[in-house]
Amino acid sequence: MKYLLQKTGNYFDKYFNTNNVRKVELSILRIAVFAFLVHLFIIFLGNNFLYFKSLQHSYLKAIYTPFSFILFYEVFLLVIIIPKSISEFVGKQFEVITLITLRSFFHDIADLDLRNLININNPEFISLLYDLLASLIMLSLTILYYKIYQSNRKSDIINELTNFINIKKLVSLSMILILFLLSISSFYVWGTAMWEALKLNQNYPNPNTVFYADFFSIMIFVDVLLLLISFTYHFSFFTIFRNASFIITTILIRMSLTIDKPMNYIIILIGFLFSIISFYLYSLRNTKNKPIA
């Protein structure tokens, strides 16, 4: 078993180093640019040719497409960051859900009729305000979280056994495979639903519920698995509480993806605050008790 874990760790280090990750980033960015241009062209056809009338939309809708690819790259980074640090892994989850919220603005603004006077009582306009306000608060809380993490990074880093690091690399590799399969499956489901919606010109599918809801459901069990495995190397009440708070945040993020605004954002912010406060209290305890786990 030890030999298998070592081989897995070496494989992870070989194929997911900085250079290869950069190549993936550039590839996704090129695809994002291409998809953006294609989406603009499709909207052009819908807006100018009667035959493609079902594709008629605001050109602002096209911004949503490249942003989705950027968001997917962030999810990829979330997966490969698992072996580094649980705290950093949670911070990346904050980043992902913040970008999902910001992406919602690009989705919603395309549905707003800009030719009409913007009215504070307009539900679509209010939805935009929710997106902007929530994303700003999430950004602020993410910065705060990283400040706490950076100020306690030395005490938060533990001398983990090589086996545990390799186990996390194995989990990361498994998640990469799941991410790949889930992407294909979700794209097929979303594409089928979108085709039906285009024919009926209604009930457009929400990609958050197609892909990200499933992804964060899996992440909940990954968090629990890492927590349980860590107990075999170190057992501490304070570490249990901190890691459990991270799991609770992941659960709340997952719940928020299928709840309407503004309740979904309220749930996310509760999750953010719970993790941040727990992490801060944990760090206070660790400054007085070194070395820590």
**pTM metric for this prediction:** 0.81
Say what the pLDDT of residue 133 is. Answer: 94
Number of domains in the chain: 1
Specify if 293 maps to a domain: no
Burial 75-101 (b: 16+ CB within 10 A, else e): bbebbbbbbebbbebbbbbbbbbbbbb
**Mean pLDDT computed over every residue of the chain:** 81
Say what the pLDDT of residue 220 is. Answer: 86
Lowest mean pLDDT among 189-203, 208-222, 251-265: 189-203
> The domain containing residue 124 runs over which residues?
2-288
Higher pLDDT, 276 or 1: 276
Q: Predicted confidence band at 204 (pLDDT cuts at 50, 70, 90)?
A: low
Summarised one tens digit per residue, pLDDT across range 115-147 is: 665 667 777 788 888 999 999 999 999 999 999
Residue 43 · residue 57 · CB < 8 Å:
yes
Residue with tokens 């085709």: 195
Say what the pLDDT of residue 87 is. Answer: 84
- DSSP class of residue 52 equals G
Summarised one tens digit per residue, pLDDT across range 69-100 is: 888 888 888 888 888 888 888 899 999 999 98
The DSSP element (H or E) to which 144 belongs, if any, is helix 123-151
Give percent of the chain above pLDDT 90: 18
Specify if 163 maps to a domain: yes
> Mean pLDDT, to the nearest integer, of 213-235?
81
Kindly tell me if the per-residue pLDDT of 222 is higher than 90: no
Q: Predicted confidence band at 13 (pLDDT cuts at 50, 70, 90)?
A: confident
Kindly tell me if the per-residue pLDDT of 60 is higher than 50: yes
DSSP-derived secondary structure for 57-108:
--GGGGGHHHHHHHHHHHHHHHHHTTTT-HHHHHHHHHHHHHHHHHHHHHHH
**In this structure, how many other beta carbons lie within 10 angstroms of the beta carbon of residue 105?**
20
Helix %, strand %, coil % of the chain (to 5): 80, 0, 20
> Mean pLDDT, to the nearest integer, of 184-209?
66
Kindly tell me if the per-residue pLDDT of 157 is higher than 50: no
Say what the pLDDT of residue 291 is. Answer: 42
Residue 69 · residue 32 · CB < 8 Å:
yes
Higher pLDDT, 20 or 164: 20
Specify if 62 maps to a domain: yes
